[in-house]
Structure 1
Amino acid sequence: METFWNRQRELETLRAWSGQEPRFGVVHGRRRLGKTALLRHWLHGVAGCYVQATEGTPVAQRVAVAEDMRPVLPGFADVAYPSWRALLEALRRQWPEPAPVLVLDEFPYLVQSAPELPSILQSMVDAPDARRFPLVICGSSQRMMQGLVLDSAAPLYGRAQFLLRLEPMPVAEIRRALGLPDAVAAVEMYAAFGGVPRYWRLVREGQYSTAASALDGLVFSPGGVLHEEADRVLRDEQAAALERAVCELVGRGARRPSELAARLGVKETTLAKPLRHLADLGLVQRQAPYDFASGQPVAAGRRAFYRLADPFLAMWYACVRPYLSGLNMDAPSARRHARTAWSHQVAAVWEELCRQRWHRLEHGGIEWEPAGRYWVSREPSEGEWDVAAVSSDRRHVFLGECKWMRDVTRAKVEAAVRTIRQRPVPPLPGAPRVHLGVFLPRTDRLPAEIDGVVILDAERMLGEE
């Protein structure tokens, strides 16, 4: 059985659906996030039949699906079905009572060879007796799945009783899943492999004790299982050539649309659609300066930039792609450069995690809005605060700086505190109380506050979900 890590909220959605009058549901998300493990774990508690579709001709696929029906309908595969409509209508007629759930995993494989299949399923889902044939479709090609169920022109649009999109696992879970010794190790491992259960399993099976050793064995090594993983991820998502080029440039530091357009030799307006597609797929993320009045990033403006949303892809493009030729030759210099780039990547992920998790802390007994990043000019380095947030009542503002250092000393922290206190506070609406903070990997033997600046560490930031 596949390794199954905590997906309690997703399980609750599936269990609630199957406990009512289930007809049709959809599960989708990037490959390797654990969709199959989730569905099989759920089916241990409900009556159901799981079908794993594969690529192939329509005839071969129908034969395979019919064979998978044997646990529910023993004689079903003894008949040859000339079309998908014939097979599905036969299934509906013979489906037992009480009705088990039919799960069609990797559904896009079937649609690729039989484009008529969504329309056939539409007629079944719309039928008055649809509850006699409860169906869940699942797929890893987000672009195709979104086109099948989210496009208003698609036959299955608006018919799903639930649309469950699996997201990467949270950082707090990686510590429990891999038995990591502390929050620092969890941040480093998450910066390398993100929230992807498949990668976690490879780390565990390889018995890697640190993120650095796991990267050496799985990614930097030319024989590593994940050495070319970024290319596979984009291929799975059917990314067009321009989208792949955008991902690479963003991963290597080109962040603004104007800079991307200049490097690609295209008009900036040409990038609007590929950037939107990549954002919809969860591969890139638009970031804009934090607005203290609304408590959200600025909706529009020229100061926005893009970053790779997935830590593994960001690591791969920053640490592997620039040195790929040398890594393929197993050159020691290339390995050293990759490791150096990796140290910068950890700092970037730590900063993003601090923003993501700040509002969970309720620091000072205050309810905080989700945090963002503040900067003044088109370059985030000018007038920047790594973590900026307002309280729900707008009476408090938090401004913080993130530091990732292996050797945390009192002298270094006091220097960081002095820098923070000298930095000008942005213009703020009203007269809120300003709280200052610094985020560090560890705070051993340090006070909770120095000169009015709160000291926060990875243990507190990761906490419990």
Structure 2
Amino acid sequence: MEKPEKIFARDREWQGLTRFTGLPLGATRGAAALGVVSGRRRQGKSFLLQSLAEACGGMYFAATEATEAESLRLFNASLTRQTGVVADAPFRDWHEAVAHLFRSFRDRPAVVIIDEFPFLVRTSPALPSIIQRELGPGGAGQTSSARLVLCGSAMSVMGELLSGQAPLRGRASLELVIHPFGYRDSAAFWGITDPRLAVLVHAVVGGTPAYRYEFTQGDRPADLDDFAPWVIRTVLNPQTPLFREARYLLAEESAIRDPALYHSVLAAIASGNNTNGGIASFIGRKSDQITHPLNVLEDCALIGREPDLFRQGRSRYRIVEPLITFYEAIMRSRWAELEIHRAEQVWSATRETFLAQVVGPHFEALCRAFALDSGAELFGDQPGEVGSGAVSDPQRRTQIEVDVVALAPRQPNTARRIVSLGEAKWGETIGHHHLNRLTRARDLLSLRGYETGETVLTLYGGTGFTDELTAAAARDDRILLVDLDRLYRPL
């Protein structure tokens, strides 16, 4: 099936879905197949799956927050509309409903999509086990041609469906996570061609598709001069849905039962306290007391844990959703003022905080994504791992923070090769002293046993480079300068 024109990007996702729905019967030994689609809210999962159902004539059922009895009635009605066959009697439970579903599709592959699946699991916890039983030996799924897709936004629930000893573990032929748009696709989706403006907008709303139209009424900054007015009239405006969205993202996760604690953890990360000890100190708790909230936020795909590539056992936490970072760093402490429409005063007072705590770290993350996507073109060698790391300098009794580290894939019995070490600066012109820091880090890592003979020293500049550094890079192919135009150049 060709991807409908109304779907922006999502080529890989569409290919994965169409491959799954078109599986020949022999691929599943003549039985039904199961697919699981997940992703945080507002990423366009429902839009994508509705388009799939329309394209192949499949069934799309969107569950609601309802009792089990009402959900069964709604599901029965949807199944009847799809097949034209009325069940002999109303479904008494999900045992009957799932078995009837599989028996309704026997002759050809038929797509059946159940969206918002966590709503059903909340009132019927045994539902995954029932599906597993019907897919297994002796179940109705063994003689069915249904391609059943379960979709949901509650990441803690969806993540558990196929993990560990979960009933559906090993049953899915498709596991698809719908991520936000990458920064290049996001700029194209917003229709922004100025890379500086694209970084600023992405630092606020990220790559979530719904924020482009539904949450901003199609409003976008016309140019750099319009960025601050755009922030004031959209995300800082209590009359727009975007204003409270960061709060709702936490409230919608059933695993988060103490919002105050979780907001404090997120505020710590947004302010730069991104280690376990730093977070604990910021919120006034012991380190072992924040392990659970950190795990919950990670399971909900609201934060990510990124290992320090040079210090084993050390890691840092990063907020995955830029809008939450913006809320915690800019909005949360000034909420009362924003609610009475003092957005101009708040933005004027917090603009430097925005540049330091929001845009700066976000730019570093974009540079790491760029190094991973474009590594082969940039360095002549595709990295096996990209992240950040701290290098100890015993002689100077300090730590050198390396923003972008690209490592070659591990090879047995050989030193780990460093493809590139990178420094990313958003608000200052990069000069020779930044290059010297990378050179020092490279030399120290070489003494520690890393292979650095071909390491490229890469400087990522949001503001530009000195003439002296530009001349040095022209003479040495192991010095690479990446500006905003290069960052946003299509692959």
Mapped partners of 2:400, 2:264: distance in 1 = 31
Secondary structure of the 2:83 match is coil
User: Which range is displaced more, 102-111 or 17-26?
Assistant: 17-26
Secondary structure of the 1:26 match is strand
Q: What corresponds to 1:25 in structure 2? A: 35
TM-score between the two structures when normalised by the length of structure 1: 0.86
Corresponding residue to 2:435 among 401, 420, 433: 420
Mapped partners of 1:2, 1:52: distance in 2 = 23
Q: What corresponds to 2:420 in structure 1? A: 398
Residue type of the alignment partner of 2:265: V
Q: What corresponds to 2:485 in structure 1? A: 459
Return closer, same or farther for 1:431/1:50 CA change in 2, 3 Å cut-off. closer
Return closer, same or farther for 1:230/1:422 CA change in 2, 3 Å cut-off. closer
Contact 1:440 1:457 in 2 (8 A): yes
Residue type of the alignment partner of 1:133: A
Q: What corresponds to 1:41 in structure 2? A: 51
Mapped partners of 1:48, 1:367: distance in 2 = 40
Return closer, same or farther for 1:348/1:130 CA change in 2, 3 Å cut-off. farther
Contact 2:391 2:445 in 1 (8 A): no
| Post-superposition offset of 1:107 | 0.8
Are positions 1:385 and 2:402 aligned together? yes
Corresponding residue to 1:256 among 275, 279, 284: 275
Residue type of the alignment partner of 1:216: I
User: Which range is displaced more, 265-274 or 6-15?
Assistant: 265-274
Gaps of 5+ in 2: 26-31, 474-478
Return closer, same or farther for 1:119/1:390 CA change in 2, 3 Å cut-off. closer
Residue type of the alignment partner of 1:182: D
Secondary structure of the 1:122 match is helix
Secondary structure of the 2:41 match is coil
Corresponding residue to 1:343 among 348, 355, 363: 355
Residue type of the alignment partner of 1:322: S
Q: What corresponds to 1:245 in structure 2? A: 264
Contact 1:2 1:37 in 2 (8 A): no
Residue type of the alignment partner of 1:365: G
Residue type of the alignment partner of 2:403: D
| Post-superposition offset of 1:70 | 4.0
Mapped partners of 1:66, 1:446: distance in 2 = 70
Residue type of the alignment partner of 2:237: S
Residue type of the alignment partner of 1:266: R
| Post-superposition offset of 1:130 | 4.8
Corresponding residue to 2:220 among 205, 208, 219: 208
Return closer, same or farther for 1:246/1:240 CA change in 2, 3 Å cut-off. farther
Secondary structure of the 1:129 match is helix
Residue type of the alignment partner of 1:219: V
Query: How many matched pairs?
Result: 447
Return closer, same or farther for 1:208/1:447 CA change in 2, 3 Å cut-off. farther
Contact 2:159 2:299 in 1 (8 A): no
Secondary structure of the 1:88 match is helix
Secondary structure of the 2:120 match is helix
Secondary structure of the 1:162 match is strand
Contact 2:379 2:419 in 1 (8 A): no
Return closer, same or farther for 1:99/1:192 CA change in 2, 3 Å cut-off. same
Q: Deviations over 1:144-171 (max 9, x none)?
A: 122233241x322221112112222211
RMSD: 3.0
Q: What corresponds to 1:63 in structure 2? A: 73
Q: What corresponds to 1:329 in structure 2? A: 340
Gaps of 5+ in 1: 292-297
Return closer, same or farther for 1:136/1:288 CA change in 2, 3 Å cut-off. closer
Q: What corresponds to 1:318 in structure 2? A: 329
Return closer, same or farther for 1:134/1:438 CA change in 2, 3 Å cut-off. closer
Residue type of the alignment partner of 1:386: D
Q: Deviations over 1:170-202 (max 9, x none)?
A: 111012211112322222221111121111234
Q: What corresponds to 1:196 in structure 2? A: 208
Secondary structure of the 2:359 match is helix
Are positions 1:50 and 2:60 aligned together? yes
Identity value in percent: 26
| Post-superposition offset of 1:265 | 4.1
Mapped partners of 1:338, 1:4: distance in 2 = 37
Q: What corresponds to 1:295 in structure 2? A: none
Corresponding residue to 1:371 among 359, 366, 386: 386
Are positions 1:173 and 2:188 aligned together? no
